[in-house]
Chain A
């Protein structure tokens, strides 16, 4: 019996080597496994198409990583991820959501922590947008879109939208009203997080006849037909619509621009984490970032993807650069349900 447990010098050495290697086990595993299939939960349409064109095909395919897209609306995909959270192996590796939703997923304890050992390109991420649980994929500042034909003097700040000049001529996108509320909070309260404090401002806007659009696409015809003159939208949208022939310009509010950030994160129960990290890293490659800037008008989130030529000109931010302000995620998360309910009632009461 004792013979059986008697440790030999060799076995002790083997054990010691094993113990010493344990901290590096994930890295070794990663080096071995960054291949196979990675499931990407994403929006459909143009975004999904551009992911394939700029990330999947040129950057991951050569590495032997095949990307399968699980396309759908953000709430549906988030619901699916939440429903699967108890499974040891989920069906999704990388989830692509707006930054506020990424914050919620992190709060629910569902996201894999990220660092430079997993995603080396994290070191190039602009500090404003960095989080320990997700990568910022693309961003776009919120601007005041206006019709240059009817608005001779460009608006300078959020307050202009509530002035007499634009009564009944302000357009609000119903699905991003909360971003308008945050812009109001930034200007009126000096803090974009004081969202509930600007209900009166929003109420004034609605009561004075601001138009609400249920689809983002309806904003451009609103400007074109003269139904509205101004409204808060993402800069990328203004670029997209101007490219499509709608007379529209962007003014950057002096108090700063709330900023749309589209995030990517790895779920804790991702079946292929190594490939998921490789995906995130590829998304932060300058070439991939430039591709999105060129086609969709969204800005790169990294410091080493300077734009050139025509794209640089189109996407240029004014001098001095406007202050870019990501949404105050914790405050937003805390009030969003109540705000949504309040907003519905406000609209209904007319």
Chain B
């Protein structure tokens, strides 16, 4: 024991700074936010010291706010599933590719990440908005004036385009870790391609699917610029609503409560899904 003490001390010293950084930059502000969420809002004095659950109650008892949470959740689930369905074939193809174009392919997937989500949302506005590309084509075909903006479709499309690269890159690295010979073995034992996929590739890729899914789900739940720009005033999601309460209405207590509700929902769903994936994974 006495011999090991210096080692333990070294470890503590090494972990110490990082722990302090996390404590100071994440835990403390969150604790402060939690405290704010219990305060009362007053427009003139801005925040009144209190210890009340009324901000949380206001959210959960009002169908308007729970509706916004539900919309956010639906959009996040739909885009996560679409990311998975569209991303898996691309990731698989990239992972198994022996071609010299492979790195170009990977680069093409990474490239959109260099452009911020705001810029890409503006790009979509040019495509979907009135006077945009879709409108022009529709006009040329004889239609008159169409705008696909300010709809759940536009928001889902925008978020999908932003999150897809994350999904592809995560899946690709996991699929690359699956020994190709396992698939060859399945082939040689007479499994049809769909059977091979369902019984060999998919179960082995499940942890990657879980990680990628969680990653894009969290990103979608917290999306701000995309729903704000493509959804407009008439399409409500959690992050823009939170921002409005905080920065436009200056209602910090309620904004803090919304932040916690969003965070807890995301964390709970994430934990639940990873448990589910783990259980499935163990079963195989």
Contact = CB atoms under 8 A, between A and B. Distances in A.
A213 B44 contact: no
A350 B234 contact: yes
Nearest to B71: A348
Interface stretch (B156-164, B191-199, B246-254): B246-254
A307 B164 CA distance: 56
Contacts of A340: 249
A267 to B, nearest CB: 14
Nearest to A82: B46
A224 interface: yes
Interface stretch (A19-27, A72-80, A240-248, A276-284): A72-80
Interface string B42-76: 01111000000000000000001001100000000
A10 interface: no
B236 A348 contact: yes
B284 to A, nearest CB: 44
Contact of B45 (A73, A108, A214, A348): A108
Interface residues on A, range: 20 to 34
Contacts of A78: 250
B144 to A, nearest CB: 10
B233 interface: yes
B64 A345 contact: yes
A6 to B, nearest CB: 52
Given A75-B248, A213-B233, A226-B145, A82 B130 contact: no
B147 interface: yes
Interface centre among A174, A224, A225, A226 (most CB of B within 10 A): A225
A214 B232 contact: yes
A347 B236 CA distance: 9
Contacts of A344: 64, 236
A348 B131 contact: no
A75 B249 contact: yes
Nearest to A228: B130
Nearest to A108: B44
B88 interface: no
Interface string B225-239: 000110011101000
A225 B228 CA distance: 21
Contacts of B130: 221-222, 225-227
Interface in A40-70: none
A212 interface: yes
Contacts of A76: 247
Contacts of B249: 75, 337, 340
Nearest to B68: A348
B145 A104 contact: no
A227 B145 CA distance: 8
B46 A348 contact: no
A174 B247 contact: no
A83 interface: yes
Interface in A217-241: 221-222, 224-227
Nearest to A175: B248
Given A79-B252, A226-B145, A227-B145, 5 more contacts: A174-B233, A213-B232, A214-B228, A337-B249, A348-B68
Interface of B: 43-46, 64, 67-68, 129-131, 135, 145, 147, 228-229, 232-234, 236, 247-250, 252
16 contacts: A75-B249, A82-B250, A104-B44, A108-B45, A174-B232, A174-B233, A225-B129, A225-B131, A225-B135, A226-B130, A226-B131, A227-B131, A336-B43, A337-B43, A347-B233, A347-B234
